[in-house]
Chain A
């Protein structure tokens, strides 16, 4: 899996958790819940992407290299 979908997936998960938490906490305004969830999604994605995208890319490169050596 590449870093971008993974980051977005995890950010979506965090937003979902927030939504559940906000609903459980009694936040009644739909706009409040939606914007809160959106804000959590955005911040989480921003934090995760620069960490996961290069990391997964680097791992991918490493795998390709080892395959190349194995082939010879």
Chain B
């Protein structure tokens, strides 16, 4: 996954007014045309343009202008801030310059007399707090700020649903009346429907508000687009509806014009066409809104206020004012305002919305708590460790937002096709029209010709009228309005579902790649095991006491950051020993450590280390083998070139590790374990968790090469690590999965971040990814399927045999069905629970888990 160079800035601009894949292509082209813009991804479902640009050349203002020039809106917020005293002219200019230097600020101005500051800014890049902070830099104290017009993506989605819903509401009774009037003489309806409704002028009066009222946005948008040389879906709708309506009007007022005669008025075609398109738009808006629900939940979860201890008293302040190090009191039923460590009190905290754990987690002094989680039972005081944009919830929101704004590789193909589709469709409609006018009509037309699903015969249709009708059907039926929605809606649903379970996908490409994985490699320590080893045995050579051995070992490991060192130091602490600082220390990655203390050289590490130094192991060899047989890691301690002791260390296997391995194998995946342990102990652990493919004695820098080896055999590899020493191998793998990120999600390398440290989440992540890719493929099939299958039908391929042509309303029905299918299909993801979670539950397990076992620990 590409990372932009340092000089490149990222912008997420909210873009409104996009309705289809063609709009996405146009906005993308407009932004790419801005000098200094280096990369653009536009996402229809999240209303976002994700831009990488050189801030020295391009500006938000230039991008906004480019987008608005082609008729779309950039959703900037407008903040009005009143400065306590109106600044001097020079100071006002300096304030404006400072604000314009903020990444998301498009414009800033200060009214000279009143000191009213107006700022247009992209809320996705700059917050009100950033603006206030910048003002503080100019010596202005915190001031009251008011955001006048805020447009969040999901707020816009809600408004969009309401707008299309209202239009649908207006069109529905009128369309029903037009249908009733049109079919009044047929099927015995004349007994219940008054004849006046069948009168052409009445039908004209009923249809006109549908077309020019409810359907007006299509005409206005296509006119705006055409003026700028942009063809989008609106144009297809407008030409389709407009032509059907025009023919109906001609047949009403000039019945001999040759468009099917006085009985073929087609008002129901224009009315139903509009109604179906409105329905399609309404459903699309609904899908977009629902798909971003996970994000909305995260945003609404953000705490607003905090109770901070200031000079011994609790003060209620806005959460933006909490500083790192502040003591914050959290009472039962309250949201934890910021990330921190509990210093006093204890409680059960519901973390479900951030981690997916179904049960509240007990927290006491020393435990980390995350902002946005809910305090259930007791009161506690925390010391703030992360505030503002650094909190876990802010990071998770940002990651989910970025993932939803990104584009899956499969979508790039769909967009490329859909972007040019409108022109092809109009070309096809023109070709169809000319064919039927020049050749087809004369050769195959019969007066008994009918429009499918209508009572009309086309007895009086002339060559032009017939050819126009056929080409309208081509226009309407070809409309791939659901294509633009098919992939992003699925990606939003999938990444949102992941967030619900504490699984964060760093982009749509991560989702797609995870779905295609064939081998899952676990880096043993910290993933299959808890990564918190403990010393279990100390075996000493003659003349060395166990206490002495532990002191030597702890001195050697004092500066080490390795989990094994932690275990040895833990043992020393438990025995009440205070190891001195070594005079010199060197970590020997994959082997151990070397230290000098009080003139002695101490080596502590694995068998290989001592063998390389030529130190004989035979005095304690039988004991070492026995400990290894028990599945423990043996550290060999040598002082002054002589073996002094064996220190056995064991890690605890995570209780869900065997279940996770079994689940992954059940999904048809090969599961491998990678470890620095020797082969014998590695195989012993692998047997315990059910893994057959073992890569043992792998040094840290060889991990990436081991992944490469598997890729060289043609496998698509997912690498699971706990983030320590794993960055290269996580990056090298097709999918890097960082486990147990906790509150610090964005510092993790990897394409998928698991907030919890449960290996079952690896299976859940891959299951969600597979479900999402399946959804994308199904959606694309629904979106394109109807069009591809129905275009030849609309062109009249069957007409010479059946003497029936597709009516515009049937074409519209097929088109709306396509949108409906995508919408309903995407909705299925709402109720999706990864099978592994259905089987074993979330935080609390539904089935008994095996008891934890001890395993050796590798360097």
Contacts and interface: CB of A to CB of B under 8 A. Distances in A.
B327 to A, nearest CB: 60
B471 to A, nearest CB: 7
B67 to A, nearest CB: 15
B427 interface: yes
Contacts of A50: 229-231, 422-423
A13 to B, nearest CB: 14
A31 B254 contact: yes
Contacts of B259: 31-32, 35
B669 interface: no
B430 A47 contact: yes
Interface in A4-24: 4, 7, 21-22
Nearest to B437: A36
Contact of A43 (B254, B429, B464): B429
A31 B430 CA distance: 19
Contacts of A21: 438
Residue with the highest number of chain B CB atoms closer than 10 Å, among A4, A39, A42, A51: A39
Interface in B227-258: 227-231, 235, 239, 243, 246, 250, 254, 256-258
B521 interface: no
Residue with the highest number of chain B CB atoms closer than 10 Å, among A25, A42, A46, A51: A46
Given A31-B257, A32-B258, A36-B437, A47 B468 contact: no
Contacts of A35: 246, 250, 257, 259, 464-465, 468
A47 B434 CA distance: 15
B603 interface: no
A43 B423 contact: no
B257 A32 contact: yes
A30 to B, nearest CB: 8
A33 B465 CA distance: 10
A29 interface: yes
A36 to B, nearest CB: 4
Contacts of B343: none
B257 A36 contact: no
B484 to A, nearest CB: 17
B423 A47 contact: yes
A39 B423 contact: no
Contacts of B429: 43
A49 B229 contact: yes
Residue with the highest number of chain A CB atoms closer than 10 Å, among B229, B465, B471: B229
A59 interface: no
A46 B250 contact: no
Contact of A32 (B235, B423, B433, B464): B464
A29 B260 CA distance: 13
B732 interface: no
Contacts of B438: 21, 25
Nearest to B427: A47
A32 B462 contact: yes
Nearest to A29: B258
Nearest to B254: A31
A21 B438 CA distance: 9
B229 A52 contact: yes
A51 B427 CA distance: 12
Nearest to A4: B229
A36 B467 contact: yes
A22 B838 CA distance: 68
A29 B229 contact: no
Nearest to A56: B229
A18 B429 CA distance: 15
Nearest to B226: A49
A29 B227 CA distance: 32
Nearest to A38: B246
Contacts of A52: 229
B248 to A, nearest CB: 13
Contacts of A47: 423, 426-427, 430
Interface string A33-67: 10110011011111101111110010000000000
Given A3-B229, A52-B229, A29 B430 contact: no
Given A32-B258, A32-B464, A43 B231 contact: no
B229 A33 contact: no
A45 to B, nearest CB: 8
A12 to B, nearest CB: 15
Contacts of B465: 32, 35
B239 A31 contact: no
A52 B231 CA distance: 12
Contacts of B539: none
B442 to A, nearest CB: 9
Contacts of B239: 42-43, 46
B622 to A, nearest CB: 81
Interface string B570-609: 0000000000000000000000000000000000000000
A40 B430 contact: yes
B250 A43 contact: no
A70 to B, nearest CB: 19
B463 interface: yes
A2 B437 CA distance: 32
Contacts of B243: 39
A21 B434 CA distance: 11
Nearest to A47: B426
Nearest to B242: A42
B257 A46 contact: no
Contacts of B423: 46-47, 50-51
B37 to A, nearest CB: 15
A7 B426 CA distance: 15
Interface string B458-495: 00001111011001000000000000000000000000
Nearest to A32: B464
Given A22-B464, A32-B258, A35-B250, A46 B433 contact: no
A54 to B, nearest CB: 6
A27 B229 CA distance: 33
B464 A33 contact: yes
Interface in B210-234: 226-231
A45 B427 CA distance: 11
A57 B105 CA distance: 29
Contacts of A42: 239
Nearest to A33: B464
B464 A29 contact: yes
Interface string B423-448: 10011011001100110000000000
A50 B422 CA distance: 10
Interface string B247-291: 000100010111100000000000000000000000000000000
Contacts of B229: 3-4, 7, 49-50, 52-54, 57
B357 to A, nearest CB: 52
A20 B243 CA distance: 22
A7 to B, nearest CB: 8
B258 A39 contact: no
13 contacts: A3-B229, A22-B464, A25-B438, A27-B462, A29-B462, A29-B464, A31-B259, A32-B259, A36-B433, A39-B471, A40-B434, A43-B471, A46-B231
Given A27-B464, A47-B427, 7 more contacts: A27-B462, A31-B254, A35-B465, A35-B468, A40-B430, A40-B434, A43-B430
Interface of A: 3-4, 7, 21-22, 25, 27, 29, 31-33, 35-36, 39-40, 42-47, 49-54, 57
7 tightest Cβ-Cβ pairs between the two chains A and B: A53-B229, A31-B257, A32-B464, A36-B464, A43-B430, A50-B231, A29-B258
